[in-house]
Copies of this chain bind each other. A is one copy, B any other.
């Protein structure tokens, strides 16, 4: 009736991963090892933790119980790791940052490069994604986010305000300018199935031509001349083949923040990055507002 802590973690990963292979991937192990550990855990507890079904391992009630407790232990290790990281005064070793794909591509590359040059002993991992990584679970140490506030349990600094506006190809822009009453084709976000508010009333006719769930795709569609897209000023200005059109005057858009968990906010590497990022972004403010 004595269970290894690592075996508890394995049980948790198997419940979470829903298959030996999934758990093994999360643990960085071969799936046979996961199977063996589960067998050992069940033997030492004398309780079945999983039902072996044809399509995989299905946790029993007891298995879920173990997994839930292990999850709390994992939260504890996350807290510990953050605490250790927050104490770390060195400018060596790994640092993971995350930012929206397009912000990295069009704005942040220089400051990332500058940081790597200045601190060659830091091995910087950049996770360019639009998903919000969980800083509590240490998926990243520092995040640059577009949002209205830094969020709970996170510490943040507002880097700049920004605005959005409407963009299209020069040809389409000219056509609309020539005939403001023609119907304007919009390319919009999938979950925002409407023409943007506050469009200039000189352009009375609109329709939604297509929707995407990804800004890269929206921009590509706009660059292909398929319609007008609303996007942050920095993005439209940095995109070849697009010009700003006056249909939608510059609108408020969520601010850009740099955020980190409170525990790691003061870590040397996190501070060093921030101290390079903040003045850099201050110098770039003109890109973001009209």
Interface residue ranges, A against B (CB under 8 Å):
1, 3-6, 8-9, 45-47, 61-62, 65-66, 69, 72-73, 76-77, 79-81, 83-85, 87-88, 93-94
Contacts and interface: CB of A to CB of B under 8 A. Distances in A.
A95 to B, nearest CB: 11
A49 B47 CA distance: 36
Given A76-B72, A77-B73, A45 B84 contact: yes
A73 B76 CA distance: 7
Contact of A94 (B1, B76, B84): B1
Nearest to A71: B76
Contacts of A69: 76-77, 79-80, 83
Contact of A65 (B5, B6, B83): B83
* Copies of this chain: 2
The main secondary structure of chain A at its interface with chain B is helix
Given A5-B5, A66-B80, 10 more contacts: A1-B81, A1-B94, A3-B77, A5-B8, A5-B77, A61-B87, A62-B84, A65-B84, A66-B84, A69-B79
A47 B83 CA distance: 12
Contacts of A65: 80, 83-84, 87
Contacts of A47: 84, 87-88
Nearest to A4: B6
B1 A9 contact: no
Contacts of A72: 76
Contacts of A94: 1
A5 B6 contact: yes
Contacts of A9: 5
7 contacts: A1-B94, A5-B8, A5-B77, A8-B77, A47-B88, A66-B84, A73-B76
A93 B1 contact: yes
Residue from A4, A73, A79, A87 with most neighbouring chain B CB atoms (10 Å): A73
A66 B84 CA distance: 8
A5 B93 contact: no
Contacts of A73: 5, 73, 76-77
A5 B93 CA distance: 22
A83 B84 CA distance: 31
- Give the interface centre of A4, A80, A81 by most chain B CB atoms within 10 Å: A80
